[in-house]
Amino acid sequence: MDTLQKKISFIKESKQVNTKFFKKTIQLVGISVGIFIGAWLPFDSSSAATAPEQTTFLLEQSSENSPFLPSSDSTLQQLYTHSSALELANMVRTKQVSSAELVAVALQQVRQENPQLNAVITLRETAALKEANELEDHGQPFLGVPLLLKGLGQTLKGESNTNGLIFSKDQLAGGTSSFVKGLQEAGFILIGQTNFPELGYKNITDSPLYGPTHNPWNHAYQAGGSSGGAGASVAAGMVPIASGSDAGGSIRIPASWTGTIGLKPSRGVLIGNSAAERGQAVHFALTKTMQDTETLFHALKIPERLQTDPTPLKNLKIGYSTKSPVGTPVSSEAIQAVENAVTFLRTQGFEVEEVNNPIDGVALMKNYYTIASSSASIANFLANQKLKRNLIIEDVDLLTWALYQTGTTITKEQVNAAWEENGRMAALMGEFHQTYPLFLTPTTAWPAPKVGDSLLTAEHVEKMNHITDLSAEERQQLIYDQWLPALTLSPFTQQMNLTGEAAISLPTHLTAEGLPLGIQFNAAKGQDERLIQMGKLFEEEGQFKQTVSPDNSKEDHEESQTTTTTPAIELPVDPPVEEVPAANLAPIAPLEALPAGSNPESTERVSIKTKDTPLSTETRLPKTHEKEFLFDPILLGLLFIFSSLYCLKKEPELN
C-alpha cells in the first residue's frame, strides 16, 4: 500500500498547476474557444475530423456502452501503466478499483498505442468486460488483471486461431488450451491476442497476414519474434504481462529487444507444457517485474517436476561467454552488456569465470533445422483441412514454403538421429552445470533489425522460389544458408529448447542508439528458481533499464515508413463464438536461423513491403462518426464557457 500511495502522490504532484497564474488565462481561452466552436464550426463544412485508419475502424467497432475513461481522468491510466500486475491485483482485491475499470484502461491503451505498433491483432471487449464484472475473489494472485494472449498456439474457445496463415484468417478455436485455462485460474482477464510471424518460424514478427510489429523504443525497429506482439504490448504499457511461447528463443528474443523480462521455463515444469523428451516449445510470458515473473511461475508450476537446492545463490559459480556458439560475429554492445553484468556480479561477491560453451553449436543448429523442416508439414495438413488441396507457394510465407519442401526430403531416421544427439548434448550440459550452475551470455548478439529487413538475401530468395528444383541435400543446405543472417542476430537461445534447460533474458543494457539489449542466464533443467533469484538480484540492485523514452520511440519513424508499410489491421472485436472444427495445434515456433559467418551490418538483404496502408496515412472519419466526433458544437461551446467561468470560483482538483 505504501508503494501504491507513493505512485498516486507522485502522479498527483506532477499534475499540480499554479492556478492563480493560469486562472485568467483559462477563462479567456475557454470563452474564446467556446465562441469559436459554438458560432463558427456548425457552418464550416471543411472541418471534418481525421484519424489514423486503424483508429477509425476501432471507433466503428466500439460498443455503444463503451467503458473508456474520460480523457480528463488520466490518473488511473498512468497508475495502470506504471504498476505491476500484482499491484493492480491488490487494487482490485482491496476495492480501490474494479477489474472492469482496469480492462477499460487496458483497452484504451491498446487503442492509443497499437496504431503505431501493430502489436495486437484481436480484442474481445464485451467478453472481457463481462468476465471482469462476474469475477469472484478466490485468492487468485492476479485477480482481475488484463492480459494479452499470444495469437499462436494458445487457444481460447471461440477466438481467432489462424496460425498466421492467410487461408485460415477466419478460423476460430474449438477449445481452450490447458495453459490458457491456467492463466484464467490465476485471475487474469484475457482482453485479446498479440501478433506473431506465420507459424512462429522467425525471430522477427512480419506476418503476411497481420503485418510487422514495431518496437516501442523506436518504431523503425522490429520487436522480435515470434512473441513480438507480446514484447511490444508489455513495453508500451498496454498490459503488465503478455503470454508468449518459446521453441527457439521466441520469449527471450523479444524480451531482449523490447526491454522486458523473458523467462523460458524448463521443459514440462508448468501447466500446459509438455514434459516429453522431444518437447521443444514452452509457454510462459513476458513481464515488467521479477515479482510478477516469480508469482506467475509459482501459479503455473508442477512442483514435482522442479528441483530444490538450498545452496545460497552467492555460493554458485558462474560461467560466462560472449562467443557465438556457431562462430558468427557478436556486437560490441552485446559484449559490453555481458561484461557489465560480470563486473556487477563480482562486486556482489560471486565467483565468475570466462568459459567456452561445451556444445558444438553448428551441430546443434543442424539438428534444429532438421526438426524444423520435418515439422513444417503442418502447413500442408492445415491447407488440406481448409482448402481441400495440397499447399502451393502462393498460400504461405516463402520461408514456410521452403521448410515444407525441405521437410518432404527428411526421413524419420534423420529426425530420430537429431533428437538422439540432442539428448547427448543435454547430458553434456548437465555435467557442465555441476561446475557452473549458472551460465551467462548475451540474449541476442545484436540489437533489433529494422522493420522491413526480411533477413534474407536476394540470392536465397531466388533459390527458395525454385526449391523444388533442388536435391534433398541442396534443400537442406539452403535452409541452413538462408537462416544465417537471422541466426547471426540471435545464436544463443536455441540450445535451451533442444536440451530442455531453463533460461531467462534480463533487460540490463541500452545501446548507444537507445535500443534495449538483454543478457541471458541459463541453468540446469528444473533449476528455474535460480534464474528467478538472479533476476531479482539484478532488479533490486538497479541493474534493469526499462524506461521507454516517448521521444526516442518516434526516432526514425519516418524512415520506417519508407522501408515498409503496415496493413490497416482491423482488430476483430468480439468475433461470433462459432465453433469451427480446427486443428488446435501449437506448431513448433519459432525457428530463428543457422550457422556461422557474416556480419549482419554488411549483408545485402531483401527489403520487404506489405501491401495495404502505411502507418502515416490519415483518412476522414465516416460522416456518421464526424458528427459523433464533433459532438454538438453549440453545447460544446457553452460547456467551455461555463467551465472557464467556474475556474473563478474553484481551484482545480485532482480526484
Q: Which residues are catalytic?
A: 150, 226, 250
Judge whether 297 and 289 are in contact, CB under 8 Å.
no
Q: Compute φ and ψ for 219, nearest 5 degrees.
A: -65, -15
Identity (one letter) of the amino acid at 60?
E
∠ Cα 473 596 604 (to 5°): 90
User: What are 275's three cell numbers?
Assistant: 514434459
- Rounded to whole angstroms, the Cα distance separating 415 from 412 reads 5
- Rounded to whole angstroms, the Cα distance separating 79 from 238 reads 12
Q: Which residues pair with 320 in a beta bridge?
A: 354, 440
Judge whether 45 and 622 are in contact, CB under 8 Å.
no
Cβ-based neighbour number of residue 201 at 10 Å: 31
* H or E element in which residue 44 lies: none
Long-range contact set of residues 169-173: C-beta below 8 Å, sequence gap at least 24: 169/209, 170/580, 171/386, 171/580, 171/582, 172/575, 172/577, 172/578, 172/579, 172/580, 172/582, 173/582, 173/584
What residue spans of 355-409 are helical by DSSP H?
Answer: 361-375, 377-387, 398-407
Cell 543442424 sits on residue: 366
User: Which residues neighbour 28 within 8 Å (Cβ) at sequence distance 6 or greater?
Assistant: 644
Q: Cα torsion for 203, 194, 221, 439, to the nearest 10°? A: -50
Q: Cα torsion for 179, 494, 462, 257, to the nearest 10°? A: 80
User: What are 221's three cell numbers?
Assistant: 525497429
For residue 541, give Cα distances in angstroms to 204, 256, 257: 31, 19, 22
∠ Cα 410 387 407 (to 5°): 5
**How many residues would you count in the chain?**
655
Nearest to 572 by CA among 206, 117, 161, 17: 161
Nearest to 149 by CA among 283, 234, 226, 244: 244
Identity (one letter) of the amino acid at 141?
P
Rg (CA), the chain: 25
Judge whether 321 and 354 are in contact, CB under 8 Å.
yes
Cβ-based neighbour number of residue 166 at 10 Å: 15
